[in-house]
Structure 1
Amino acid sequence: MLLLALLAAADTLPADRPVAFVNVTVVTMDRPATLADQTVVVRDGRVAALGPAGRTAMPDGAVRIEGRGRWLIPGLAEMHAHIPPGQATREEIERVLFLYLANGITTVRGMLGAPQHLAIRDAAARGEIWSPRIVTSGPSVNGTSAPTPEAVARMVAEQHAAGYDFLKIHPGLSRATFDAMVAIADRLGMRFAGHVPADVGLDRALEARYATIDHLDGFAEWLLADDAPARGQPAFFFGVNYGGQLDLARIPEAVRRTRAAGTWMVPTQVLMENLAGTEAPEALAARPEMRFASASAKAQWTQQTNGFRSAPGVTAAGRADWLAMRQRLLKALHDGGVGILLGSDAPQVWNVSGFSVHRELQLYVQAGLSPREALATATVNVARFLGREAEGGTIAVGKRADLVLLRGDPLADIRRTAAIEGVMIGGRWLDRVALDARLEAIAAAMR
Structure 2
Amino acid sequence: MIIKNVTVIDGTGSAPRPGTDVTIADGHFTDLRPTTAPAPGSHADDQVLDGRGGYLVPGLWESHTHLTGHAMAVPETERVAHLRGQLDDYLKAGITSVCDLGGSVAYGRQAREAVRPGTAATLFYAGPCFTGPEGWPLQIHGDRTMALETGSAEDARRTVRELLGQVDFVKCIFDGKDGERLPLAALEVIVAEAHAVGKNVLAHVATGTDVRDAIRAGVDCIEHSFVPQDAADLAEAERIAALMAEAGTLFCPTVVTWEQLGHNGDRAHLDRLVADRVITAEEAAEIAARPAYGKPFPHHPADESRIRFDYAMRALPLFRDAGVKLVAGSDIALTMPTPTSALLRELQLFAQAGLDSSEIIAAATSRAAEKIGKHDTVGTVTVGAVADAVLLDADPLTDIAHLIDPQHHRAVISAGLLAHH
> What is the TM-score with the length of structure 1 in the denominator?
0.75
Matched, 1:24 2:10: no
Contact 1:271 1:349 in 2 (8 A): no
Matched, 1:428 2:414: no
Contact 1:47 1:397 in 2 (8 A): yes
Tell me how far 1:113 sits from its aligned partner: 2.6
Greater displacement, 403-412 / 391-400:
391-400
Tell me how far 1:415 sits from its aligned partner: 0.9
Match of 1:131 among 113, 120, 145: 120
Matched, 1:117 2:108: yes
- Corresponding residue number in structure 1 for 2:143: none
Matched, 1:39 2:10: no
Tell me how far 1:62 sits from its aligned partner: 1.4
- Corresponding residue number in structure 1 for 2:243: 257
Query: Residues 283-298 of structure 1: matches in 2 within 5 Å?
Result: 283=271, 288=279
Query: Residues 1-20 of structure 1: matches in 2 within 5 Å?
Result: 19-20=1-2
- Secondary structure of the structure 2 residue equivalent to 1:302: coil
- Corresponding residue number in structure 1 for 2:149: 146
- Corresponding residue number in structure 2 for 1:303: 294
Tell me how far 1:406 sits from its aligned partner: 0.9
Greater displacement, 87-96 / 128-137:
128-137
Match of 1:361 among 347, 359, 367: 347
Tell me how far 1:79 sits from its aligned partner: 0.9
- Corresponding residue number in structure 2 for 1:229: none
Tell me how far 1:355 sits from its aligned partner: 2.5
Indicate how the Cα distance of structure 1 residues 178 and 123 shifts in structure 2: closer, same or farther if over 3 A, else same.
farther
Match of 1:179 among 180, 185, 207: 185
State the distance in 2 between where 1:361 and 1:92 align: 25
Match of 2:94 among 104, 109, 118: 104
Greater displacement, 25-34 / 332-341:
25-34
Indicate how the Cα distance of structure 1 residues 282 and 336 shifts in structure 2: closer, same or farther if over 3 A, else same.
closer
Matched, 1:224 2:229: yes
Tell me how far 1:423 sits from its aligned partner: 0.8
- Corresponding residue number in structure 2 for 1:378: 364
RMSD: 3.3
Matched, 1:399 2:388: no
Contact 1:292 1:352 in 2 (8 A): no
> Deviation digits for residues 62-86 of structure 1, max 9, x if unmatched?
1222222221111111111222336
Contact 1:293 1:352 in 2 (8 A): no
Q: What amino acid sits opposite 1:401 in the alignment?
A: A
Matched, 1:162 2:136: no
State the distance in 2 between where 1:181 and 1:312 align: 26
- Secondary structure of the structure 2 residue equivalent to 1:37: strand
State the distance in 1 between where 2:157 and 2:319 align: 33
Indicate how the Cα distance of structure 1 residues 200 and 194 shifts in structure 2: closer, same or farther if over 3 A, else same.
same
Greater displacement, 352-361 / 385-394:
385-394
Task: State the aligned residue count.
Answer: 382
Unpaired stretches in structure 2, ≥5 consecutive residues: 135-147
Matched, 1:206 2:215: yes
State the distance in 2 between where 1:122 and 1:53 align: 38
Match of 1:69 among 17, 39, 53: 53
Unpaired stretches in structure 1, ≥5 consecutive residues: 1-18, 226-244, 433-447
Matched, 1:94 2:84: yes
Indicate how the Cα distance of structure 1 residues 30 and 102 shifts in structure 2: closer, same or farther if over 3 A, else same.
same
Identity of aligned residues (%): 27
State the distance in 2 between where 1:312 and 1:369 align: 28
State the distance in 2 between where 1:299 and 1:355 align: 17
> Deviation digits for residues 337-395 of structure 1, max 9, x if unmatched?
11111112244442622222222112112212111111111123234444444323332
Matched, 1:390 2:394: no
- Secondary structure of the structure 2 residue equivalent to 1:107: strand
- Corresponding residue number in structure 1 for 2:65: 81
> What is the TM-score with the length of structure 2 in the denominator?
0.79
Tell me how far 1:195 sits from its aligned partner: 1.7
Contact 2:20 2:34 in 1 (8 A): yes
State the distance in 1 between where 2:236 and 2:188 align: 27
Indicate how the Cα distance of structure 1 residues 292 and 382 shifts in structure 2: closer, same or farther if over 3 A, else same.
same
State the distance in 2 between where 1:118 and 1:294 align: 36
Query: Residues 298-337 of structure 1: matches in 2 within 5 Å?
Result: 299-304=290-295, 307=296, 314=303, 319=306, 322-337=308-323
Greater displacement, 165-174 / 402-411:
165-174
- Secondary structure of the structure 2 residue equivalent to 1:254: helix
- Corresponding residue number in structure 2 for 1:3: none
State the distance in 2 between where 1:288 and 1:34 align: 31
Indicate how the Cα distance of structure 1 residues 141 and 290 shifts in structure 2: closer, same or farther if over 3 A, else same.
farther
> Deviation digits for residues 210-256 of structure 1, max 9, x if unmatched?
22111113xx2xx414xxxxxxxxxxxxxxxxxxx442233322211
Indicate how the Cα distance of structure 1 residues 29 and 195 shifts in structure 2: closer, same or farther if over 3 A, else same.
closer
Tell me how far 1:263 sits from its aligned partner: 2.0
Indicate how the Cα distance of structure 1 residues 288 and 201 shifts in structure 2: closer, same or farther if over 3 A, else same.
closer
> Deviation digits for residues 382-439 of structure 1, max 9, x if unmatched?
344444443233322332211101121100101111221221111111234xxxxxxx
